[in-house]
A and B are shown apart, each in its own frame.
Chain A
Amino acid sequence: DGGITQSPKYLFRKEGQNVTLSCEQNLNHDAMYWYRQDPGQGLRLIYYSQIVNDFQKGDIAEGYSVSREKKESFPLTVTSAQKNPTAFYLCASKLRERMNTEAFFGQGTRLTVV
């Protein structure tokens, strides 16, 4: 079955630690996205990538970094510079960036700072 896989489902981070969230898709989609979801707020865009080896900052990129070395993979690193990282992180993909098509989401990773 085609889809997007995020791992891990739950992640705990200590203060000052970097952590990496995995996102893999086998839909052959060009565009991939990382969102952050907090209670009572809409999804906020962290980073997006239209094509391999290219990515752009979204609305809340500070304290995060990404890479897109393969079409299928778009990992997100939450760095120690992100002061409030506790949230639900969602990875999504779309066939092409500049198309009004549906977005497909992974199951999410819940990150908690301990």
Chain B
Amino acid sequence: SQKIEQNSEALNIQEGKTATLTCNYTNYSPAYLQWYRQDPGRGPVFLLLIRENEKEKRKERLKVTFDTTLKQSLFHITASQPADSATYLCALVRGSNYQLIWGAGTKLIIKP
């Protein structure tokens, strides 16, 4: 079955450093991948979308890579700030109806 894995352990990063989150998938060949941010008790908020023919996508301090050979996406936050602390979800687009399959998310903690 299709499976998406994100690191279940919280990631602790010192303020100012680069945070890197991983999204791995198996038994699947998605054409698109999306990243969302979720704060406690709130709904996810869309951050970035990357297509399979795009190796890298950037938006301000955010960068996403998509390696279809490794079946992996990396999400980077440069110059991290305490306000970046949240849970980050990756989602793969499934099938012709573009439904999303979700990872469980990785909790990121940026320490001052």
With both chains docked as a complex, state the minimum distance between the C-beta of A8 and any C-beta of chain B, in angstroms. 13
Instruction: Identify which of B31, B45, B105 contacts A105 (C-beta below 8 A).
Output: B45
Q: What total of A-B pairs shows CB separation below 8 Å?
A: 54
> Are A100 and B101 touching (Cβ within 8 A)?
no
* Chain A 91-107: CB-based contact to B (< 8 A → 1; otherwise 0): 01000011110111111
B42 near A: Cβ within 8 Å?
Answer: yes
Interface of A is mostly: loop
Using a Cβ–Cβ cut-off of 8 Å, how many residues does chain A contribute to the interface with B?
A: 24
Distance in angstroms between the alpha carbons of A48 and B97 in the assembled complex: 11
Q: Give every chain B residue within 8 A of A107 (Cβ-Cβ).
A: 41-43
* Chain B 26-53: CB-based contact to A (< 8 A → 1; otherwise 0): 0000011010000001111110010000
Q: Give every chain A residue within 8 A of B44 (Cβ-Cβ).
A: 43, 90, 103, 105
Which residues of A pack against B, CB within 8 Å? 4, 6, 35, 40-45, 48, 90, 92, 97-100, 102-108, 110
